[in-house]
Amino acid sequence: MLFQFPWPGANAEPRLSNFLKKYRRSANADADTHRRRTRLRRFIGYYRPHLPILFADLGSAVLIAATAIALPLCANYLTTRIFEHPDASDAIAHIVATGGLMLGLLGLQLLAIFIVDYQGHMMGARIEATVRKELFDHCQKLSFSFYDRSRVGQLMSRITNDSLWIGELFHHGPEDIAIGFLKFAGAMAVLWYIDPVLAGMVAILIPFAILHALRANGRMNRALLVSKERIADVNERVEDALAGIRVVKAFTNEALEAERFDRENQRFVESRRAGYRAEAMSWIGGEAFAQIAIIVVVTGGAVRLMSGDLALPGMLTALLCVAVLVDPMQRLANFVRLWQEGYTGFSRAMDLLDIAPDIVDRPDAIEMAPPEGNVRFENVTFRYGEGLPPVLDGLSLDIEAGEFVALVGASGVGKSTICALIPRFYEADEGAVTVDGTDIRRVTLASLRRHIGIVQQDVYLFAGTVAENLRYGRPDATHEEIVAAAKAANAHDFITALPNGYDTDIGQRGVRLSGGQKQRLTIARTFLKDPAILIFDEATSALDNESERAVHEALLELAKGRTTIVIAHRLSTVRHADRILVLTPDGIGEEGTHEDLMAADGLYAALHREHGRI
466-504 pLDDT, tens digit per residue, is 898 888 888 888 999 899 888 888 888 889 998 989 998
CATH of the domain at 300: 1.20.1560.10
Domain that holds residue 169: 25-353
The rounded distance, in Å, linking the Cα atoms of 159 and 348 is 10
Among 221-225, 360-364, 452-456, 513-517, which is the least confidently predicted range?
A: 221-225
Helical (H) or strand (E) element with 583: strand 579-584
CA angle 446–449–451, rounded 5-degree value: 115
Percent of the chain, pLDDT > 70?
87
Give me the pLDDT at residue 1, please.
40
- 221 - beta bridge partners? none
User: How many other β-carbons are positioned within 10 Å of the β-carbon of residue 239?
Assistant: 17
Q: How confident is the model at residue 174 (pLDDT cuts 50, 70, 90)?
A: confident
Q: pLDDT band at 565, cuts 50/70/90?
A: very high
Q: What is the mean pLDDT of residues 402-411?
A: 89
Q: Is residue 212 part of a domain?
A: yes
Q: What is the SS3 assignment for 430?
A: strand
- Least confidently predicted of 412-421, 441-450, 569-578: 569-578
Q: What share of the chain is helix, strand, coil (3-state, %, to 5)?
A: 70, 10, 20
pLDDT at 400 over 90: yes
Instruction: List residues bridging with 564 in a β-sheet.
Output: 404, 534
pLDDT in tens, 312-330: 777 778 777 877 777 777 7
Mean pLDDT of 571-596: 86
Give the contacts of 412 (CB within 8 A, at least 6 positions apart).
391, 585
Range scoring the smallest mean pLDDT among 215-229, 396-410, 453-467? 215-229
Q: Please give the pLDDT value at position 206.
A: 78
Residue 575: inside a domain, yes or no? Answer: no
pLDDT tens-digit map of 287-311 = 777 778 778 888 887 888 788 787 7
For residue 484, CA distances in Å to 132, 218, 372, 500, 539 come to 38, 63, 24, 18, 24
Could you tell me if residue 263 is inside a domain?
yes
- Helix or strand run (H / E) with residue 159: helix 152-159
Quick one: pLDDT at residue 19?
A: 56
| Domain count for the chain | 1
More confident residue, 286 or 528: 528
Range with lowest mean pLDDT among 312-326, 454-468, 510-524:
312-326
For residue 30, is it within any domain?
yes
For 375, the enclosing helix (H) or strand (E) is: strand 375-382
Pairing of strands 375-382, 430-435: antiparallel
The stretch 77-101 carries a mean pLDDT of 72
147 CB neighbour count, 10 Å cutoff: 12
Residue 430 pLDDT level (bands cut at 50, 70, 90)? very high
User: pLDDT tens-digit profile of 529-559?
Assistant: 888 999 987 655 556 666 667 777 778 787 8
- Average pLDDT taken over every residue of the chain: 81
What are the two backbone dihedrals, phi and then psi, of residue 429, each rounded to the nearest 5 degrees? -75, -40
Q: How confident is the model at residue 374 (pLDDT cuts 50, 70, 90)?
A: very high
Question: Of all residues in the chain, what percent carry a pLDDT higher than 90?
Answer: 12
242 vs 12: which has the higher pLDDT: 242
**How far lies 43's CA from each of 52, 122, 138, 222, 504, in Å?**
17, 17, 17, 20, 45
- Is there a domain that residue 373 lies in? no
Q: Does some domain include residue 188?
A: yes
pLDDT reported for residue 8: 47
Whether 575 has a pLDDT exceeding 70, the answer reads yes
Distance CA 314, CA 160 (A): 52
Cα–Cα dist 312/429, whole Å: 84
Is the confidence at residue 18, as pLDDT, over 80?
Answer: no
> What 3-state class would DSSP assign to 568?
coil
In a domain, 470, yes or no: no
Beta bridge partners of 409: 583
Q: What angle do CA 270, 289, 165 make, to 5 degrees?
A: 40
Q: Is residue 446 scored above 70 in pLDDT?
A: yes
User: Does a structural domain hold residue 220?
Assistant: yes
